[in-house]
Chains A and B, each alone.
Chain A
Amino acid sequence: MNEKQSLMTRIIVWFDPRWRSISFWGFIVNRITGLGLTLYLFMHLTMLGNLARGQEAYDGFIHFAHNPIFLVGEVLVVSAGIIHALNGIRIGLNSFGIGLRYQKVLYIGLTALAGIICLYFAYRMFTA
């Protein structure tokens, strides 16, 4: 149909919410958080390698990780996880035919819930 379109134009369509309905945000956000979390997963695995290198390496890393920029990153990761998980619940339920008629309400509700949980975690993490 549009073979001639460049890769970029095709990707832009995924992230272009203009004129689209509210659940389209679910699609966008799920895609971004999913890609982000995959990136984090492999960074995390690499970081955990420090555990095998002994106490100094790991504790040194944890100490380094206490600086605020890292904390912001961590909050982002946790939020991404929560959002992806709750949106995933909606998609999973819908896939088995549950709550489809209310998918829009479900999306808004779960997103609001995700927001509240994210704020709670951010508060806990910054005050810890």
Chain B
Amino acid sequence: MLNAPSGPKSGEGAWLWLTKIITGFFIIILLIIHFVVNHLVAPGGLLTWANVVKYYQNPIIPIMEIGFLAFVVSHALIGLRSVILDLKPPRSVLKVIDWLFTAVAIASVIYGIWLIFAIVAQGSGA
């Protein structure tokens, strides 16, 4: 048996790691699609408000963008958490980080959905 009195701790596990790998993979795919759409399909890019709003009228785009956001946010936060774990933080600090990161992730996605709805709404109103 291990000398450490606390024994193994499950602060990180297979699912979290698998999520990081899978989101990473999808981020790459979506980024490629994003670049293709922006620079090959839409000439001149999406550099004006009007273009962006128009772009979002296609219903696939908001879904893709929200998915992209969720993937990027979870990949980034799992990664950041992993870097923090490398420093062996105390359990109490880790607990705070877990709550904080979960809150940030949820808030970011809600914010993203709100933002997209706002853009789409402005487009259909115009």
In the complex, the answer to whether A54 meets B79 with C-beta atoms within 8 Å is no
Complex CA–CA separation, A34 to B23 (angstroms): 14
Q: Is B122 positioned at the interface, with any CB of A under 8 Å from its CB?
A: yes
Binary A-proximity of B6-28 (CB < 8 A = 1, otherwise 0): 00000000000000010011011
Q: Is B100 positioned at the interface, with any CB of A under 8 Å from its CB?
A: no
Q: Is A43 positioned at the interface, with any CB of B under 8 Å from its CB?
A: no
Q: Is B118 positioned at the interface, with any CB of A under 8 Å from its CB?
A: yes
The total of Cβ contacts below 8 Å across the A-B interface reads: 60
Main secondary structure of the interface of B (DSSP, over half): helix
Contacts of B118 in A (CB 8 A): 51-52
Q: Is B112 positioned at the interface, with any CB of A under 8 Å from its CB?
A: yes
Minimum CB–CB distance from A22 to chain B (whole Å) comes to 21
Contact A34/B79 with A59-B48, A88-B28 known, Cβ cut-off 8 Å = yes
Contacts of A58 in B (CB 8 A): 48-49, 52
Complex CA–CA separation, A49 to B73 (angstroms): 16
Known A41-B76, A92-B24; 14 more pairs at CB < 8 Å: A7-B87, A10-B87, A14-B86, A34-B83, A35-B80, A35-B83, A37-B76, A41-B72, A45-B108, A51-B53, A54-B122, A55-B50, A62-B48, A92-B25
**Residues of B in contact with A (beta carbons under 8 Å apart):** 21, 24-25, 27-28, 31, 47-50, 52-53, 72-73, 76-77, 79-80, 83, 86-87, 108, 111-112, 114-115, 118-119, 122
